[in-house]
A and B are shown apart, each in its own frame.
Chain A
Amino acid sequence: MPSVTFRVFRGDKNGGELKDYTVQVEEGMVVLDAIHQIQAEQAPDLACRWNCKAGKCGSCGAEVNGKPTLMCMTRLDTIDTSKPVVVRPMKTFPVIRDLATDVKWNYEANKKIKPFTPAPNTDWIMMQEDVDRVQEFRKCIECFLCQNVCHVLREHEEKTGFIGPRLLVRTASLEMHPLDVENRLEMLKNEGGIGYCNITKCCTEVCPEHIHITDNAIIPLKERVVDEYYDPILSFFRRLFGSKKRLEAAGSAADD
Chain B
Amino acid sequence: MESYTTHDYDVLVIGAGGAGLRAAIAAIEKGAKVGVVTKSLLGKAHTVMAEGGMAAALGNVRPEDNWKVHFRDTLKGGGMLNNWKMVMNYTKEAPERVRELERWGAVFDRTPDGRINQRNFGGHSYPRLAHVGDRTGLELIRTLQDHAVKLGIHAHMETTIYRLLTDAGRVVGALGFNRQTGEFLVFRTKAVVLATGGLGRIYQITSNSWECTGDGFALASLVGADLIDMEFIQFHPTGMVWPPSVMGILVTEGVRGEGGVLLNNQGKRFMFDNVPERYRGEFAESEEEAERWLKGDRNARRPPELLTRDVVARAIRREVAEGRGSPHGGVFLDIASRRPADYIKKKLPSMYHQFMKLGNLDITKEPMEVGPTCHYVMGGVRVDPDTQATNVPGLYAAGEVAGGLHGANRLGGNSLSDLIVFGNRAGAAAAEYAAQQTGSFQIDEAQVRAYIAEALAPFHNPQGENPFALMKELRSSMQKNAGIMREESELKAQLEILASLKKRAWNTSVSGGRAYNPGWHTALDIRLMVEIAEAVVLAALARKESRGGHARLDYPDPDPNFARINHVIRRASDGSLTVVAEPLPEMPEELRKIAEAKDLKELSEKVGA
Binding site for B on A (CB under 8 A): 12, 26-30, 33, 39-41, 44-59, 73, 75, 96-98, 100, 102-104, 107, 110-111, 115-116, 118, 124-128, 131, 134-135, 138-139, 141-142, 174, 177
Contacts and interface: CB of A to CB of B under 8 A. Distances in A.
Given A29-B245, A59-B41, A104 B157 contact: yes
B329 interface: no
Nearest to B248: A53
Given A44-B468, A44-B511, A55-B357, A131 B110 contact: yes
11 contacts: A33-B245, A51-B210, A52-B46, A96-B515, A111-B149, A115-B146, A116-B104, A124-B102, A135-B107, A141-B48, A141-B138
Interface stretch (B83-91, B262-270, B491-499, B517-525): B517-525
Nearest to A170: B146
B242 interface: yes
Interface string B129-162: 0001101011100100011011000000100000
Interface in B499-557: 510-513, 515-520, 522
B107 A39 contact: no
The interface residues of chain A, by DSSP majority, are classed as: loop
B125 to A, nearest CB: 25
Interface residues of B, number: 67
B224 interface: no
B517 A138 contact: no
Contacts of B48: 51-52, 56-57, 141
A188 B512 CA distance: 44
B516 A26 contact: no
A47 B518 contact: yes
B105 A177 contact: yes
Contacts of A177: 105, 107
Contacts of B587: none
Task: Give the most central of B40, B105, B359, B512: most A CB within 10 Å.
Answer: B105
B586 interface: no
Contacts of A103: 41
B246 interface: yes
Contact of B49 (A57, A115, A116, A134): A57
A79 to B, nearest CB: 13
A45 B42 contact: no
Given A28-B358, A45-B520, A100-B516, 10 more contacts: A28-B359, A51-B40, A52-B49, A59-B40, A73-B358, A102-B180, A115-B147, A124-B102, A127-B110, A127-B114
Interface of B: 40-46, 48-49, 99, 102-105, 107, 109-110, 112-115, 132-133, 135, 137-139, 142, 146-147, 149-150, 157, 180, 209-211, 242-246, 249-250, 349-350, 353-354, 357-359, 466-469, 472, 510-513, 515-520, 522
A192 B242 CA distance: 44
B107 A131 contact: yes
Contacts of A116: 104-105, 146
Closest 7 CB pairs of A and B: A28-B243, A45-B512, A44-B519, A116-B105, A125-B114, A47-B516, A40-B468
B517 A47 contact: yes
Nearest to B208: A52
B564 to A, nearest CB: 39
Contacts of B135: 56, 139
B517 A45 contact: yes
Task: Give the most central of A28, A58, A102: most B CB within 10 Å.
Answer: A28
A98 B358 CA distance: 25
Task: Give the most central of B44, B45, B104: most A CB within 10 Å.
Answer: B44
B49 to A, nearest CB: 5
Contacts of A100: 180, 516
A75 B45 CA distance: 24
Contacts of B146: 115-116
A70 to B, nearest CB: 9
A48 to B, nearest CB: 8
Task: Give the most central of B102, B358, B472: most A CB within 10 Å.
Answer: B358
A46 B358 CA distance: 24
Contact of A50 (B112, B210, B512, B522): B210
A64 B43 CA distance: 24
Nearest to A54: B249
Contacts of B110: 126-128, 131
A83 B472 CA distance: 30
A128 B137 CA distance: 19
Nearest to A209: B353
A51 B518 contact: no
Contacts of A138: 107, 132, 138-139, 142
A110 B42 CA distance: 12
Nearest to B209: A51
Contacts of B157: 104
A68 B517 CA distance: 23
A41 B138 CA distance: 33
Nearest to A124: B102
Contact of A96 (B102, B104, B109, B180): B180
Contacts of A97: 515-517
Contact of A56 (B49, B242, B512): B49
Contacts of A142: 43-44
A228 to B, nearest CB: 23
A185 to B, nearest CB: 19
Task: Give the most central of A33, A102, A107: most B CB within 10 Å.
Answer: A107
A126 B519 contact: no
A45 B510 CA distance: 8
Contacts of A46: 518
Contacts of B49: 52, 54, 56-57
A79 B73 CA distance: 48
B29 to A, nearest CB: 15
Contacts of A96: 180, 515-516
A57 B515 contact: no
A151 to B, nearest CB: 24
Nearest to B137: A56
A111 B154 CA distance: 13
B516 A98 contact: yes
Contacts of A141: 48, 138
Contacts of A73: 357-358
